[in-house]
Amino acid sequence: YWYVLSFIWLRCVKAKKIRNFGAVENSIEFRSAKTSPIQSFRVSEGEGRSNQMAMSALRREGRRFAPLLSPNPMNVLRSSLAPPLEQASLGVRSVSTQEVQNRMRSVQNIQKITKAMKMVAASKLRAVQSRTENSRGIWQPFTALLGDTPGVDVKKNVIVTITSDRGLCGGMNSKSVKISRALHKLNSGPDKETKYVVLGEKAKAQLSRYSKRDIEISITELQKNALNYTQVSLLADDFLKNVEYDALRIVFNKFQSVVSSVPSMATVLSPEIVDREAVAGGKLGYLDSYEIEGDETKSATLQNLSEFQFSCVMFNAVLENACSEQGARMAAMDGASRNAGDMLDRLTLAYNSTRQAAITTELSEIISGAIAVTG
Residue 188: closest CA among 213, 156, 162, 212: 156
d(CA 368, CA 358): 15
The runs of H, that is alpha helices, within 147-245 are 172-186, 201-211, 229-242
pLDDT at 313 over 80: yes
> Is residue 355 predicted with pLDDT exceeding 90?
no
Give the whole-number percent of the chain exceeding pLDDT 70: 71
User: How far is CA 138 from each of CA 5, 283, 324, rounded to the nearest angstrom?
Assistant: 84, 22, 19
The set of residues, in sequence order, having a beta carbon less than 8 Å from that of 92 and lying 6+ positions away, is: 67, 68, 79, 82
Instruction: For the chain, give every domain's residue range.
Output: 137-286+296-325
pLDDT tens across 320-348, in order?
999 999 999 999 999 999 999 999 999 99
Q: Does 202 score more than 70 pLDDT?
A: yes
Q: Report which of 155, 150, 143, 142 is spatially closest to residue 245, judged by C-alpha positions.
A: 155
For residues 141-162, one letter each, b for 16 or more C-beta atoms within 10 angstroms of the residue's C-beta and e for the rest, the string is: ebeeebbbbeebebebbbbbbb
Q: Tell me, what's the pLDDT at 76?
A: 40
Q: What angle do CA 145, 285, 196 make, to 5 degrees?
A: 65
Closest CA to 259 of 348, 354, 315, 326: 326
Q: How far apart are CA 105 and CA 113, in angstroms?
A: 13
In this predicted structure, the answer to whether residue 314 has a pLDDT above a threshold of 80 is yes
pLDDT higher than threshold 90 for residue 162: yes
Above 80 in pLDDT, residue 349? Answer: yes
Q: What is the mean pLDDT of residues 153-171?
A: 90
Averaging pLDDT over each range in 7-11, 38-42, 94-98, 192-196, which range is the top one?
192-196
Pairing outcome for strands 247-257 and 260-269 = antiparallel
Nearest-angstrom CA–CA distance, 200 and 218: 8
CATH superfamily of 137-286+296-325: ATP synthase, F1 complex, gamma subunit (3.40.1380.10)
- The average pLDDT across 117-146 equals 86
The runs of H, that is alpha helices, within 17-48 are: none
**Would you say residue 14 has pLDDT above 60?**
no
- Count Cβ neighbours within 10 Å for each residue of 86-119 and write b for 16 or more, e otherwise: ebeeebbeebebebbeebbeebeebbeebbebbe
Using only the alpha carbons of the chain, give its radius of gyration: 37
Answer yes or no: is pLDDT of 96 > 90. no
Residue 342 CA to residue 326 CA, distance in Å, equals 24
For residues 300 and 15, the model is more confident at 300
Supply the pLDDT for residue 80: 42
Whether 325 contacts 164, CB under 8 Å: yes
**Per residue in 78-91, pLDDT tens?**
444 444 444 444 44
Mean pLDDT is highest, among 137-151, 220-234, 235-249, for 235-249
Q: Residue 144 above 80 pLDDT?
A: no
Is a pLDDT exceeding 60 seen at residue 52? no
The mean of the pLDDT values for the chain is 76
How are beta strands 247-257 and 193-199 bridged, if at all?
unpaired
Per DSSP, the residues of 61-90 read HHHHTGGG--SSHHHHHHHHHS-GGGSGGG
Q: pTM score, two decimals?
A: 0.68
Q: Are 314 and 267 in contact (CB under 8 A)?
A: no
| pLDDT surpassing 60 at residue 71 | no
Specify the DSSP class assigned to residue 43: E
Q: Which residues contact 133 (CB under 8 A, 6 or more apart)?
A: none
The residues, ordered by sequence, that sit 6+ positions from 254 with a Cβ below 8 Å of its Cβ are 261, 262, 263, 264, 320, 324
**Segment among 66-80, 216-230, 266-280 with least mean pLDDT:** 66-80
User: Per-residue pLDDT averaged across 118-141, rounded?
Assistant: 88
pLDDT at 310 over 80: yes
| pLDDT (tens digit per residue) in 362-374 | 888 888 888 887 7
Contact 253, 320 (CB under 8 A): yes
Residue 297 pLDDT exceeds 80: no
Q: What is the pLDDT of residue 60?
A: 54
